[in-house]
């Protein structure tokens, strides 16, 4: 949990001067706390895309008889903190509720529950995979997720089981030739270790392939099959190559059930680029950068886009290039932030990489599995929204490096619509 205070602004509220108080509130996204006259009163916490309009409904005099909630006679103080995106509002509201009501009450009020994952039971003598939403610290390395829903996790689990011959039963096995087995063994979809149809080494080798498939979201299996297909083609065995090509298509169809977010929970790292509220002293548009690592969000870090030509600006000058933010060299001004080595110094890529480095150099993570489940639930709630409703961009490391240039391009696209609105006003 963040040690800094949640709310940045606070005003007293007098029902007789409600209009004057409401005019001080921002007409944009923010997290709000309404506090009563007594210190023992529990605050009313909420988030809204337009705080002023939302509080007008709650604090202005009601017209006629209505069942709409009205709090004007119960509120003494209004505190708020502006947010640049729905994602930031969600995190701020969770932190505010956590501090005000405790973890259990905050989880209940926000309807958070651990997301569903797929666990590879490596501790068992005969491993299997299964869907669960119970998180265990000792098995995070072999737990893969989060998925959008239980149905999505089950579809992926079933697709993986169709590709390999691991067992699907949940009983504790005591292999014996007299074991009756199951239908999957009769259908040749299981190696049937319960009936000793395979050796322990053979079953372990099959399980290693399953684990590699889950860690790479099918990449390991696809690479092996593509090598086999190319070898068959080189040997003029075209029928075999065609058969292997069909298997590749089947593997790709199974891998498609897992989104890029589905990774081993112990290795899940991501950077999120979001809009952020503007400040009076900003010399250029800014974006907010968040990180997710060790089961916990960190941030935000404000990154200046000084030196980045936005998509809107390219259209105004009639650029024939693709509609992507262009990297321009920032010219330091005497006495300016760039000359002083402030937040606008260096190129946009350097500033973005420095912000990401600071976020991941920070210490701390999820204290327990309950907090980890909450953080994953918040990430899942934002990530699995429809693409048109999901504001912001998420990035994952590729071969140990962050795609910094892609981050800057995404930041430029986020800021360009905001700049267009500001110019119109």
Is the Cβ–Cβ distance between 119 and 94 less than 8 Å?
A: no
No. of H helices and E strands in the chain? 13, 14
Is the Cβ–Cβ distance between 370 and 102 less than 8 Å?
A: no
For the stretch 318-365, pLDDT in tens is 444 444 455 544 444 444 443 333 455 678 899 999 999 999 986 677
User: Tokens at residue 333, please?
Assistant: 């001004």
Q: Which of 21, 151, 82, 132 is closest to 302 using CA atoms?
A: 82
Measured over the CA atoms of residue 292, residue 293, residue 298 and residue 302, the dihedral's sign is negative
Residue 272 has pLDDT above 70, yes or no: yes
Residue 210 has pLDDT above 80, yes or no: yes
Instruction: Please report which confidence band the pLDDT of residue 271 belongs to, taking 50, 70 and 90 as the band edges.
Output: very high
pLDDT for 306: 85
Return d(Cα 135, Cα 373) in angstroms, integer.
Answer: 7
How far apart, in Å, do the first and last CA atoms of the chain sit?
38
The neighbouring-strand residues paired with 273 are 289, 393
Q: What is the pTM of this model?
A: 0.84
For the stretch 307-316, pLDDT in tens is 776 655 444 4
Q: What's the burial of 424, exposed, middle or buried (CB within 10 Å: 0-12/13-18/19+)?
A: exposed
pLDDT for 365: 75
pLDDT for 363: 66
Q: What is the mean pLDDT of residues 267-288?
A: 88
For the stretch 154-197, pLDDT in tens is 999 999 999 999 999 988 899 999 989 889 989 999 999 999 99
Q: How many Cβ atoms sit within 10 Å of the Cβ of residue 190?
A: 26
DSSP, residue by residue, 363-410? ----SSHHHHHHHHHHHHHHHTS-TTT--SEEE--BTTB--HHHHHHH
362/249: higher pLDDT: 249
The rounded mean pLDDT for the chain is 86
Could you say which DSSP state residue 62 is in? P
- Residue 375 CB partners (closer than 8 Å, separation 6+): 292, 295, 296, 297, 366
Instruction: Please report which confidence band the pLDDT of residue 367 belongs to, taking 50, 70 and 90 as the band edges.
Output: confident
DSSP alpha helix (H) spans, 263-403: 311-316, 348-361, 369-383
Return d(Cα 377, Cα 17) in angstroms, integer.
Answer: 40
């Amino acid at each position: 949990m963040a040690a800094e205070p949640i709310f940045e602004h606070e005003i007293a509220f007098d029902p007789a001067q409600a209009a004057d108080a409401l005019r001080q509130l921002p007409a944009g996204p923010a997290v709000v706390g309404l506090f009563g006259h007594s210190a023992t009163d529990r605050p009313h916490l909420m988030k809204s895309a337009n705080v002023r309009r939302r509080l007008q409904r709650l604090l202005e005099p009601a017209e006629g008889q209505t069942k709409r909630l009205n709090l004007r006679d119960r509120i003494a103080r209004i505190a708020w903190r502006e947010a640049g995106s729905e994602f930031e509002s969600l995190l701020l509201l969770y932190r505010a509720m956590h501090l005000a009501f405790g973890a259990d009450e905050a989880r209940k009020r926000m309807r958070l529950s651990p997301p569903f994952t797929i666990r590879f039971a490596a501790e068992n003598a005969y491993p299997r995979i299964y869907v669960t939403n119970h998180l265990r610290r000792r098995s995070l390395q072999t737990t893969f997720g989060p998925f959008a829903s239980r149905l999505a996790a089950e579809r992926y689990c079933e697709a993986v089981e169709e590709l390999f011959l691991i067992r699907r039963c949940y009983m504790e096995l005591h292999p014996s030739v007299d074991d009756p087995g199951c239908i999957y063994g009769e259908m040749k979809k299981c190696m049937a270790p319960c009936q000793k149809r395979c050796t322990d080494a053979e079953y372990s080798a099959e399980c290693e392939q399953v684990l590699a498939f889950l860690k790479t979201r099918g990449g390991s299996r696809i690479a092996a099959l593509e090598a086999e297909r190319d070898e068959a083609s080189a040997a003029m065995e075209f029928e075999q190559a065609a058969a292997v090509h069909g298997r590749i298509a089947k593997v790709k169809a199974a891998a498609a059930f897992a989104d890029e977010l589905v990774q081993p929970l112990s290795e899940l790292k991501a950077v999120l680029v979001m809009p952020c509220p503007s400040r009076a002293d900003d010399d250029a548009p800014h974006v907010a950068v968040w990180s997710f690592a060790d089961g916990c969000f960190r941030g935000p870090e404000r990154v200046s886009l000084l030196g980045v030509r936005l998509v809107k600006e390219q259209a105004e000058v009639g650029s024939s290039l693709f509609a992507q933010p262009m990297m321009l060299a920032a010219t330091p001004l005497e006495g300016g932030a760039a000359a002083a080595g402030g937040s606008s110094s260096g190129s946009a890529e350097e500033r973005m990489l420095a912000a990401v480095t600071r976020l991941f150099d920070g210490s701390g993570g999820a204290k327990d599995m309950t907090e980890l489940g909450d953080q994953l639930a918040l990430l899942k709630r934002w990530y699995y929204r429809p693409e048109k409703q999901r504001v912001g961009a998420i990035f994952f490391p590729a071969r140990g490096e962050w795609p910094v240039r892609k981050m800057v391009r995404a930041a430029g696209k986020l800021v360009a619509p905001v700049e267009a609105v500001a110019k119109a006003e």
